């Protein structure tokens, strides 16, 4: 049985287990299987986290970045990108490995992201978003808005007393990719919305073959939106950095808000700025180290 060092970190309550394979710890390659990740993330039998952030050395052929961040969700699946997570990693690097350095290029499955540590806050260049199948590289801006029927996905527990499906519910959604997929849905009152009911049904809808993150958004003012997130592979989370970016992009594109956008999440607020087609989404928010420890893995 092996002992694995870790650092617990959080960004607006979105919590992570950082595994550092950059330093002296023997590599854990092959040890972090989906089953091991699920056990570590379990909040009763493990450390407890929304995701594992695995820091690994970059191959010499890809030396444009300082390191590689691999992401394992609480259900053992792989995520392309995590906005809150990359802020936590930047803070970890600045506090523990590169104390004189404040800017890092971090490789992810969604590409290389540039992050800048500013005290306890981190600014992230999230890259150019895509809407539907259109990459925003200038010219006419097209935003996909489709009707999503969830009726065929209603669970057995949602049958009426005669065993018939309850009426189909349709949602208009806006598809935004910020390194990972998101379905943004505008609602009248986000606090009262049944996220736990509809989130998993939309996440696994056939319209999204690789599943999707889901954001339920209420516009609060010309510069503020309130968001609740159903995160792919993790469920309801207190915050989602990429989700905040996707929600802000959809809100800006539809003219519901103006730059900059304050995204209000259950765990706190993020500042999102996006100049439009061809521009990167800029995200700024805090991160924090919680504790360090060791966990035994088989």
Q: What is d(CA 192, CA 238) in angstroms, rounded to the nearest whole number? A: 16
Closest by Cα among 26, 15, 19, 16 to 5? 19
For the record, the structure tokens of 182 come out as: 């998101």
Q: Which of 32, 52, 240, 277 is catalytic?
A: 240
DSSP for residue 200: H
Q: Where do we find the tokens 């259109």?
A: 134
CA distance 128 to 161: 49
Task: Spell out where the chain has E strands.
Answer: 2-11, 14-20, 51-56, 67-73, 78-79, 103-108, 111-118, 121-125, 130-131, 134-135, 145-149, 170-177, 181-186, 213-221, 224-231, 235-237, 261-265, 268-274, 281-286, 288-297
- Provide CB contacts within 8 A for 228, sequence distance 6+: 190, 191, 193, 195, 215, 216, 236, 265, 266
What is the chain's percent helix, strand, coil content, to nearest 5?
Answer: 20, 40, 40
DSSP readout, 246-266? HHHHHHHHTTS--SSEEEEET
Strand partners, 131: 134, 176
From the list 69, 82, 122, 202, the catalytic residue is 82
User: Would you call 41 a catalytic residue per the annotation?
Assistant: no
**Distance of alpha carbon 230 from alpha carbon 170, whole angstroms:** 17
* The CA-based dihedral angle spanning residues 209, 211, 212, 213, taken in that order and rounded to the nearest 10 degrees: 180
Which residue numbers are catalytic? 82, 240
């Amino acid at each position: 049985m092996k002992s694995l060092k870790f650092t617990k970190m959080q960004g607006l309550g979105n919590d992570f287990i950082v595994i550092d394979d950059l330093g002296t710890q023997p590599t854990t390659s092959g040890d972090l299987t989906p089953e091991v990740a699920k056990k570590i993330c379990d909040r009763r039998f493990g450390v407890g986290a929304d995701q594992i952030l695995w820091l690994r050395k970059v191959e010499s052929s890809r030396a444009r970045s300082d390191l590689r961040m691999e992401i394992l969700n609480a259900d053992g699946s792989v995520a392309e990108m995590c906005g809150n997570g990359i802020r936590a990693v930047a803070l970890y690097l600045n506090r523990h490995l590169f104390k004189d350095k404040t800017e890092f290029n971090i490789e992810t499955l969604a590409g290389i992201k540039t992050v800048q540590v500013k005290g306890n806050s981190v600014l992230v260049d999230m890259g150019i978003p895509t809407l539907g199948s259109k990459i925003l590289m200038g010219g006419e801006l097209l935003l996909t808005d489709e009707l999503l029927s969830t009726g065929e996905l209603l669970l057995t527990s949602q049958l009426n007393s005669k065993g018939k499906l309850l009426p189909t519910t349709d949602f208009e959604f806006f598809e935004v990719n910020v390194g990972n997929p998101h379905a943004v849905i505008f609602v009248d009152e986000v606090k009262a919305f049944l996220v736990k009911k509809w989130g998993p049904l939309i996440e696994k809808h056939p319209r999204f073959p690789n599943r999707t993150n889901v954001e339920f958004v209420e516009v609060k003012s010309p510069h503020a939106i309130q968001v609740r997130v159903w995160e792919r592979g993790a469920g309801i989370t207190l915050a989602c950095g990429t989700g905040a970016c996707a929600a802000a992009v959809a809100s800006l594109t539809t003219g519901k808000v103006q730059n900059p956008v304050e995204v209000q999440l259950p765990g706190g607020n993020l500042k999102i700025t996006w100049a439009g087609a061809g521009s990167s989404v800029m995200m700024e928010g805090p991160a924090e180290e919680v504790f360090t420890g060791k966990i035994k893995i088989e």
